[in-house]
Amino acid sequence: MQITSIITTAYDSSKRLLVKVRRFGKSDIQTPYQSNPFGLDSNPIAGMKAIYSATSEAGKNVIVGYLNVDQLSQTGEARLYATDSNGVLKTYVWLKNNGDILLGGDSDNLVKYTPLNNGLQDLRLALQQELIAIAAGISAGGGSYTPGTLNINISNSKVDKVKV
């Protein structure tokens, strides 16, 4: 195995990623296939350092991994991230060693739909009861007021593909 430098990437006709690398100088350009763990689809940016490995089949060499720069994960953590072509971080999923999961940041919170919806429906019922009490007070004072029906529907904000 050896450390090489990524030049470019391209897909072959079978949609396998070929990674053009420089091995032993400008004249030694190779195009091995990228090897990834199952379920991981990634495409490295130019300039990354790759681990190039020969296989037992002539001409069937592979890239088995990359040397990450700017690693941030602490012991026991895992981070999946994406960059632009210049290597600038664009988003990430970070599994922290304290049980937190960060989705692209840590300045806001996700909410659980069911407890939020239940809380809002309880608030709606409480407000509706207050409106009825206000109407009774206005009526006792000689006036009239008919409270409308309050509705709260947050169904369109529910994301079914993210579960906790």
Report the CATH number at residue 14.
Answer: 2.40.50.220
Does residue 163 lie within any of the structural domains? Answer: no
Same domain membership, residue 5 and residue 63? yes
Same domain membership, residue 43 and residue 29? yes
Same domain membership, residue 54 and residue 3? yes
pLDDT for the residue 144? 92
Does residue 12 lie within any of the structural domains? Answer: yes
Does residue 164 lie within any of the structural domains? Answer: no
Same domain membership, residue 63 and residue 15? yes
- The rounded distance, in Å, linking the Cα atoms of 26 and 23 is 8
CA distances from 93 to 36, 77, 114 (A): 18, 11, 23
Q: Is 25 helix (H, G, I), strand (E, B) or coil?
A: coil
Q: What is the DSSP string of 80-112?
A: EEEE-TT--EEEEEEE-TTS-EEES-SSS----
Same domain membership, residue 58 and residue 7? yes
Q: How many domains does the chain have?
A: 3
pLDDT for the residue 70? 81
pLDDT for the residue 154? 92
pLDDT for the residue 82? 94
CA distances from 95 to 73, 113, 115 (A): 9, 22, 24
Same domain membership, residue 86 and residue 29? no
From first to last of the 164 residues of the chain, give the pLDDT tens digit. 889 889 999 899 888 898 999 888 788 888 888 888 888 889 999 999 999 998 888 778 899 999 988 889 999 999 999 999 999 999 999 999 999 999 999 998 888 899 999 999 999 999 999 999 999 999 999 999 999 999 999 998 888 877 77
Range of 132's domain?
113-157
| pTM to 2 decimal places | 0.70
pLDDT for the residue 109? 85
Same domain membership, residue 61 and residue 4? yes
Could you identify the residue written with the tokens 């940016």? 45
Same domain membership, residue 52 and residue 10? yes
